[in-house]
Amino acid sequence: QVQLVESGGESVQAGGSLTISCVASGNTASVKYMGWFRQAPGKERDGVATLYLAGGHTDYRASVKGRFTISRDRAKKTLYLQMNEMKSEDTAMYYCAAGMNRGVATSLNPNTYTIWGQGTQVTVSS
């Protein structure tokens, strides 16, 4: 079983930057792709960024392209989300997720992910 633990969420000013992290443990060899999702109160959980571990391919939701970067440190089994030029609409609980489906590379669809972390809160104030 894979476990995911996010950290790094905090309050930042609009226009600022923040990097959040997700450490994976357990049988990580079965993980094929990972993603960052966010959920604001009263809203659905949306895909933010995704990374295909074998090929390094990435994908982002339109509203964060050019501002957010997903990356990983293979040795540390850690996934990162670097967020720049942050806006108030980026405020949400951010979740890290891992997927094992064959035939899936990058995915912003939460239904394709099996393992979820507990989340880390990011608040952007204007």
Other Cβ atoms within 10 Å of 50 Cβ, number? 26
In this predicted model, what pLDDT tens digit does every residue of 88-108 receive, in sequence order?
A: 999 999 999 999 988 888 899
**How far is residue 119 from each of residues 32, 43, 111, measured CA to CA in Å?**
20, 15, 17
Pair of tokens at residue 31? 């993980």
Residue 31: band (very low, low, confident or very high) from pLDDT cuts 50, 70, 90: very high
Which pLDDT score, from 0 to 100, does residue 103 have?
83
Q: What's the average model confidence in pLDDT over 38-54?
A: 96
In this predicted model, what pLDDT tens digit does every residue of 48-86 receive, in sequence order?
A: 999 999 989 999 999 999 999 999 999 999 999 999 999
Which pLDDT score, from 0 to 100, does residue 66 have?
98
Residues 6+ apart with CB under 8 A from 2: 24, 25, 26, 27, 28, 30, 31, 98, 115
- pLDDT of residue 40 exceeding 90, the answer is yes
Which pLDDT score, from 0 to 100, does residue 95 have?
98
**CA–CA separation, 111 and 95 (whole Å):** 14
